[in-house]
Every structure is written in structure tokens, then in C-alpha cells.
Structure 1
Amino acid sequence: MIDDFSQTLLVTLALAASTTVILFILGIPLGYGLAYTKFRGKAVIEAMVSLPLVLPPTVTGFYLLLAFSEESAIGSWLIHTLGLHLNFTFSGILVGSVFYSLPFMVHPVQSGFENLSSSLREASLTLGKSEWTTLMRVLLPNIKPSLLSGLVLSFAHTIGEFGLVLMIGGNIPGQTRVASIAIYDEVESFNYDRSNAYALVLLGVAFFILLLLFTYNKKLRTRTLL
């Protein structure tokens, strides 16, 4: 039987890992498209991607809560057509986390593409390589630091989410209760030892993944100089 402490940490890590994987899949084509294509409305797309950076998480969570409810057109379609009930479920906080952490993946990837020499892409396309082959074999291998930064930032940001998760998912043990919410609950109950235990785990995880990022980037810079 898994105790409440372990269960909360598992939900937190599952949310962060799932969000990061989905963002990795979405972030590459989005970052590529924003870096290399010009079209009307591009500024609108960039603004929408960046919106979570300036909106309070409670505002984002509130509007997603309304959108997922049966009273809204989107929520009604999700519930009655697809059978998806997103409010107060793990799936709901996963969708919210993907939206809220989107810029933390897209911006590093887009920046990585934009900082590459345009001759790399042009040479590959001139030699008859497809866009897909150029992306997979030429561009992505050259923006590994940007990809890693996006992965680390997305994972770390999701672990620390509070307001958005609370608005969409509530505080259901084993389903939507994540460590950040648990810390708040324990402090409210004056259970500082328990809140400290959660906080130490999050601190350790955050420090470890940042250490991996900086170590990898340092090794990569050393290889480039050699």
C-alpha cells in the first residue's frame, strides 16, 4: 500500500514527465515553424504561445476550468462526444500543464533554430534533402543544448505548478494532489516537518536536473573549443 506522501510525489513526477514528453513532441514543430516560416498572424501565434509567461496561473486555470466544464461548447463536446471529463482529473491538469509550460519548450527550441547558420538548412535543401530529413539529421543535432534546456525547464516548471493545478484539479489524493499543493496544505495545518519533507524532495530534484543541464552544456562547449 503506497502512503499519501509517496502517492503525492508519484503524481507530481508523472505529471511533470508526461507534460515534458508531450511538450517535446509539440515544441519541435512549433519552434521550427516559428523560426523558419513567415505568414500573416505569426505574431498572434507567438503571443498565444507566450501568454502563460505573463498571465497569473490562477487566471489561466480559471479559464481552462470554465472551458472544460459541461456548460461551455468545448467542454460539452469533450464530454458528450469524446467522453472526456477533464475537470478534477489527472488528464485535466495534464492538459493545463502542457498549455502553461508551452513557452518553456518552444522558446528555447525556436531560439536554437534561429541561431543556426541559415546555410545549413539551405545547403541540405539544395542537395535534395526533404524538410523532414533536414530537420532530423541536420538541424536537431545542432541544437541539442536548446532541446535539453527546453526539456529541463518544462520539467522543472511543471513540478513547481500550484495555482493552475489547484484550479483545474482541486486537491484529490492520488489523482490531482501534487507536491506543491501538499506543501501548502501541510503548512496550513502547521505540519512543518511534513511540508519540509516535500520541499526537500522538490529541491533535490530541481537541483539535480539543473546540475545535469549545466554539466552537459559545459562539456559541449569544451568539445566545441577543442
Structure 2
Amino acid sequence: MNWEPLRLTFELALTTTLVLLVVSVPLAFWLSKTTSRIKPVIETLVSMPLVLPPTVLGFYFLLAFSPNNAFGSWINEWLGIQLVFSFGGLVVASVIYSLPFMVQPIQAGLTSLPPSLSEAAATMGKSGVTQLFRVLLPNIRKSLLTGIVLAFAHTVGEFGVVLMIGGNIPGETRVASIAIYDEVESLNYVAANSYSLILFALTFALLLLVYLLNGGYLKRFWKW
């Protein structure tokens, strides 16, 4: 079994999760506080990857990032970045595709906090940024952990978006989900089973850890 697809998969999942953490925290904070009329529109756009077929998103990413189109040509010429059939393109597509899995748990956690926390911090002269990172986020650690794990696990399992925007380039875009598809097409079920078992075990362990932490089971275990 070739370990390169697994390495690429975990590298993609880790990179995507880190970028999502930076993007999702301020976005979730704004969504939890704003009364703007465009809030439902933004929430709809964020949530669309949950219901939209991955191949649809992948197709439009392919069109947008293609050097034959204005946006893709501008990125290629002015920034020197090629997003089609590249690892960078996988990261950009994965960030958008996994966005709701990070934003929604954090937004739900922030919304559930009592307003008195922010009000008390404001009376002490704390800025909005300080309130977010010093007061609010420490009180939604479970929501943060849930978002991080879900985004990571969801990125690990991507197929349609990855195939459309990245293709199947060994060492560059051939992640584990694509490798499984290739091995099945080649009737190499032993290799496909090896990749699948590793991904299954990893995602099961990550999700189990979230449920154990959020349910307080680990604390009960240590008390024993």
C-alpha cells in the first residue's frame, strides 16, 4: 500500500482545519451577534455545502479557478498561483466545502452563552476582540472542539469536490478517497480495504473522542 495518499489526506485536513479556525471564529461571532438583514443570506451560503452535491461545488470551483476564465487567469497571472489540479486548489475548495462544519458548532456555542458575559466584559472596558478570545471562546471549548473535529473528519472524507478540482495527480492531489476509488476500479480490493479501514478507524476515534469529552465520560473515568 502506498502511504502517500494518506499523507496528503492528513496534510489537507490539517491545513483546511487551521484555515477554517481562523475564518470561522470571527464569522461565527458576527453571526451570533448581528441583527443585519443579510444574516439569513450569509447563513444560507455557509450552510449550502451541507445539501449541495459535492460535484456541483467542484464543477463551479473548476470553472472559477480555470486559467481560461477571468478570475482564474487573474490569480495565475498576478499572484502566480494555479488552483486547478493543485494542492492549493484542494485547500481552497475544502475550506469552502467544510465551512458549515466549523461555523455552525461555534455559532451555536456563542449563541447559547448568556449576554451577561459580554456585558460584564464591556463594563470593564474590554474590546470586542478581547471579549471574544478572553471571555467567550474559553466558555465554548466543547463547541470549538466539535467544530475542529467535524471539519477535520469531513475533509478527510471528501471525494467529489477533490476529484473535480484536483483530479488524480500522484503526490499532489491523489488523496486517500481518490486512491480508494482507483483501487476499486483496478479490482485491487486489498489496497482499497487498507485505505478504507485506516480512514474508518481515524474518523471513528475522532468522533468518539468528541462524544466522550462533551458527555463528560472521561472525567467520570478519571474519578474512578
Bin for the TM-score computed over the shorter chain: over 0.9
Give CA deviations for 1:15-61 in whole Å, capped at 9, x if unaligned: 00100011011110000000011223122111111111111000000
Which 5+ residue runs of structure 1 have no aligned equivalent?
none
Give CA deviations for 1:170-194 in whole Å, capped at 9, x if unaligned: 0011110011111111111111100
- Alignment-mate amino acid for residue 69 of structure 1: S
SS at match of 2:98: helix
Give CA deviations for 1:116-149 in whole Å, capped at 9, x if unaligned: 1111111111221111111111100100000000
Question: 147, 161, 166: which is aligned to 2:163?
Answer: 166
SS at match of 1:184: helix
Q: Distance in 1 between matches of 2:207 and 2:51?
A: 24
Partner residue of 1:210? 207
User: CA RMSD of the aligned region, Å?
Assistant: 1.5
**Residue 114 of structure 2 corresponds to residue 114 of structure 1:** no
Give CA deviations for 1:75-105 in whole Å, capped at 9, x if unaligned: 1110111011100000001100000000000
Partner residue of 2:50? 53
Question: 3, 7, 10: which is aligned to 2:4?
Answer: 7
Partner residue of 2:176? 179
Q: Distance in 2 between matches of 1:78 and 1:116?
A: 41
Partner residue of 1:141? 138
Question: Structure 1 length normalisation: TM-score?
Answer: 0.94
Q: Distance in 2 between matches of 1:163 and 1:175?
A: 16
Q: Distance in 1 between matches of 2:148 and 2:43?
A: 19
Which 5+ residue runs of structure 2 have no aligned equivalent?
none
Residues matched between the structures, number? 220
Q: Distance in 1 between matches of 2:42 and 2:33?
A: 14
Partner residue of 1:69? 66
Partner residue of 2:29? 32
What is the identity percentage for the equivalent residue pairs of Structure 1 and Structure 2?
57
SS at match of 2:19: helix
- Alignment-mate amino acid for residue 8 of structure 1: P
**Residue 92 of structure 2 corresponds to residue 95 of structure 1:** yes
Partner residue of 1:130? 127
SS at match of 1:166: helix
**Structure-2 change in CA distance of 1:182 and 1:191 (3 Å):** same
Structure 1 moving runs of 4+ over 6 Å: none
